A and B are shown apart, each in its own frame.
Chain A
Amino acid sequence: MDVIELAKPLIDNKFSSLDSVEKYEILEQLIIAYLDINDVLKAEKYLSIITKKIDNGYSSRLQKLNGMIEETKGNYEKAIDIYNETLKKDELNEAVHKRLIAVNIANGNRDEAIKLLNKYLEIFVSGDEDAWLQLADLYLLDNQCQQAAYCIEEVILIDPRNHLYYLRYADIMLCLGKYQMASKYYCKALDLCKDNVRALYGILYSNQYLLKSKPEDKLTSNETIQSLINLAKEELEKLYKSSPCKEVVKEFLEQ
Chain B
Amino acid sequence: MAGSMYESQDLYLDPSIKYWVLFPIMIVMFLVGILRHNITTILNEGQKMDLKDVKESLAVKYGRLFISNRNYLTESAFKMRKTYWYDAFNLGKYLKDPNATGNGDMLDPANMESTMTGMKKGFANMLPQYILMSWVSFFFAGFVIIKLPFYLPLGFKDMLQRGIDTANLDITWVSSLSWYFLNFFGLGGIFSLILGKNNSAGSAKDIAPQIQMAPNQKDRFNKMHKSLAEEVKITEHQWALEDIEDKILIKYGKKKPENKKTK
Tell me the A residues contacting B by CB distance below 8 Å: 91-92, 122-127, 149-150, 153, 156-158, 160, 181, 183-185, 187-188, 190-191, 203, 220-221, 224, 227-228, 230-231, 235
Contacts and interface: CB of A to CB of B under 8 A. Distances in A.
B9 to A, nearest CB: 49
Interface of B is mostly: helix
A124 B70 CA distance: 19
B234 interface: no
Contact of A157 (B69, B248, B254): B69
Contact of B245 (A91, A160, A183): A183
A113 to B, nearest CB: 20
A156 B245 contact: no
Given A150-B77, A187-B241, A91 B51 contact: yes
B66 A157 contact: yes
Interface in B234-263: 240-241, 244-249, 251-252, 254-255, 263
Interface residues of B, number: 31
A157 B85 CA distance: 14
21 contacts: A92-B49, A122-B55, A123-B54, A125-B62, A126-B61, A126-B62, A126-B65, A150-B77, A156-B73, A157-B66, A157-B72, A158-B65, A158-B69, A184-B245, A187-B247, A188-B241, A188-B244, A203-B248, A224-B246, A228-B245, A231-B249
B65 A157 contact: yes
A86 B65 CA distance: 31
A190 B247 CA distance: 10
Interface in B138-190: none
Contact of A187 (B54, B58, B248): B248
Interface string B57-98: 011011001100110111001000000000000000010000
Q: What 5 A-B pairs come out closest when comparing CB atoms?
A: A126-B62, A187-B244, A126-B61, A160-B72, A184-B241
Contact of B51 (A123, A153, A157, A190): A123
B257 to A, nearest CB: 15
A227 B249 contact: yes
Given A157-B66, A191-B244, A224-B246, 11 more contacts: A123-B54, A124-B58, A125-B58, A126-B58, A150-B77, A157-B70, A157-B73, A158-B65, A185-B241, A188-B240, A191-B247
Contacts of B69: 156-158, 160
Given A156-B69, A227-B254, A92 B61 contact: no
Contacts of A235: 252
B91 to A, nearest CB: 16
A184 B244 contact: yes
Contact of B248 (A92, A149, A190): A190
Contacts of B55: 122-123, 125
A224 B243 CA distance: 11
A153 B69 CA distance: 11
A122 B88 CA distance: 12
Contacts of B249: 224, 227-228, 231
